[in-house]
Amino acid sequence: MQKNPDESKSVRLDKWLWAARFYKTRSIARDAVQSGKLQYNGQRSKPGKIVELGATINVPQGYDFTEVLVVQLKEQRLGAPLAQLMYKETLASETLRASNAEARKLSIFHSPKPDHRPDKKQRRQIIQFKHQ
């Protein structure tokens, strides 16, 4: 009986993140894991942690966290379409990212910006209001 070549490999966490194209360089991936921003199976881990099939990884991306399941183990960095086959994003993560993106579009997270800068009279009124 032959083993699947993906099952016999042992790949470090930082190397897998780099190969799956979550980070541009391996050193950036290593720094993200060491800083504790990234979680492996719900826990903080080290860059040398061996990745297992079916593990969940929470990866910070911009304003959101992406929760992915490990589907394939590869050490080499491949093209983006092939790298996306290495993991599968969970449904809960997709819905949360979509709702957060919609909220950002509606400016719920950010205060609305004024149409123009205050003129001299308005600045005086603001200063007077602050010092009362």
pLDDT at 2: 47
Asked whether 75 and 19 are in contact (CB, 8 A), the reply is yes
pLDDT at 5 over 60: no
pLDDT tens sequence across 68-104: 999 999 999 999 999 999 999 999 999 999 998 888 7
Q: Assign 85 to helix, strand or coil.
A: helix
Tell me the CA end-to-end span of the chain in Å, nearest whole number.
82
Map out the domains of the chain as residue ranges.
5-130
- pTM, whole model, 2 decimals? 0.73
pLDDT at 108 over 80: no
d(CA 124, CA 42): 52
- In this predicted model, which residue has the larger pLDDT, 3 or 53? 53
pLDDT tens sequence across 117-132: 899 999 999 999 999 8
**What's the topology of domain 5-130?**
3.10.290
Give the pLDDT band of residue 110 (cuts 50, 70, 90). low
